[in-house]
Amino acid sequence: MTILVTGSTGVVGKQVLDHLQGRGVQVHALTRSPEKAQFSDTITAIKGDLSDTDSLRQAMKGISTLFLLAPNAADELTQALQALSIARESHVKGVVYLSVFKGAEYVDVPHFAGKHTVERMIERCHMPATVLRPAYFIQNDVRQKDTLVNHGIYGMPIGEKGISMVDVRDIGEAAARELLRRELASDPLPRETYELVGPDALTAESIAQIWTDALGRPVRYGGEDLDILEQRLKSVAPTWLAYDMRLMMQRYQQDGAVASTEQIGRLSTLLERPPRSYRDFAVAMAVAWTRD
């Protein structure tokens, strides 16, 4: 049968596809523009959109396992719930759903609360699914290049409670491993949940020190002004999304998002190695930026 990967052209989706290549399974990648897709010869581009139920029904034909990554959209919750309903109608035997770390706790952050609602559907409908809950993506901080390199400032107002940031490569590998496990099983498998997290509780000051070491120059924390963050995000994103991100950072500042030893260990077992560290990411970026 076939694995269908949604969100296939995004940061995480590309990682999932990379890890599925050469594993002896058929893979379809859902995209709005198959003619523009740049997939390997082993990946089949399928036209479709989670917001278009007719195209999704068509794309789900013959699919046995689904990777569901709903986009950051105003109707993200509706898209995800409808996609799962269509998967049930299509008799998909396994689902891997990308949720979020601390979704149940951050009830005032819209996209966290929405993903937790999707998890409730998976549970209440007894769907054979793996729920993956990634923390803040380490690679989000690639956007800090200008402020880090040119101004010596780490500008993301994450606070001092700590966040167990995760490398997107680990997200892609974890998703691919669970997709393959479900795809290759003869029958639907029981539900599983994994927190996708990094090995360290990172604070603003500890990240500033990591960048100081990696860049070989002093880096300081830019502070916790959420008004500035929201205004900056409004220049590149819809106002509702900018406010959503503000609420997320507010909770990071208030409560943090630190993984337990057990959660880190469980992910290490899935990956068959420890999760990647922020320091390794920073060192690699510093080398790459020096070459630019």
Kindly report, residue by residue over 90-142, the tens digit of the pLDDT. 999 999 999 999 999 999 999 999 999 999 999 999 999 999 999 999 999 99
Joined together, the tokens standing for residue 49 give 């959109």
Query: Three-class SS of residue 132?
Result: strand
**pLDDT tens for each residue of 11-30:** 999 999 999 998 999 999 99
Q: Which helix (H) or strand (E) holds 64?
A: strand 63-68
Tokens 């997290």 belong to residue: 197
What is the spatial distance between Cα 68 and Cα 97, in angstroms, rounded to a whole number? 5
What is the spatial distance between Cα 124 and Cα 158, in angstroms, rounded to a whole number? 34
Average pLDDT in the 230-239 region?
96
Single-letter amino acid code for the residue at 31: T
pLDDT of residue 41 exceeding 90, the answer is no
Q: What is the DSSP letter of 260?
A: P
Longest Cα–Cα distance of the chain, Å, equals: 57
Average pLDDT in the 70-88 region?
97
Cβ(170)–Cβ(176) below 8 Å: no
Task: Give me the residues paired with residue 43 across strands.
Answer: 27
Mean pLDDT of all residues belonging to the chain: 97
Tokens 């991100």 belong to residue: 245
Average pLDDT in the 220-225 region?
97
What is the spatial distance between Cα 4 and Cα 198, in angstroms, rounded to a whole number? 27
Give the per-residue pLDDT at 1. 78
Neighbours of 258 (CB within 10 A): 18
Q: How confident is the model at residue 271 (pLDDT cuts 50, 70, 90)?
A: very high
Cβ(70)–Cβ(80) below 8 Å: yes
Single-letter amino acid code for the residue at 153: I
Handedness of CA 237, 240, 242, 244 (dihedral sign): negative
Q: How confident is the model at residue 37 (pLDDT cuts 50, 70, 90)?
A: confident
The phi, psi pair for 137, rounded to 5°, reads -75, 130
Q: Locate the DSSP E strands across 144-237.
A: 153-154, 192-196, 220-221
Give the per-residue pLDDT at 38. 86
What structural domains and CATH numbers belong to the chain? 2-135+166-196 (3.40.50.720)
* Alpha-helical runs (H) found in 125-225: 145-151, 168-184, 204-215
What is the spatial distance between Cα 174 and Cα 271, in angstroms, rounded to a whole number? 6
Joined together, the tokens standing for residue 244 give 């959503």
* Alpha-helical runs (H) found in 61-127: 76-89, 110-124
What is the spatial distance between Cα 170 and Cα 187, in angstroms, rounded to a whole number? 26
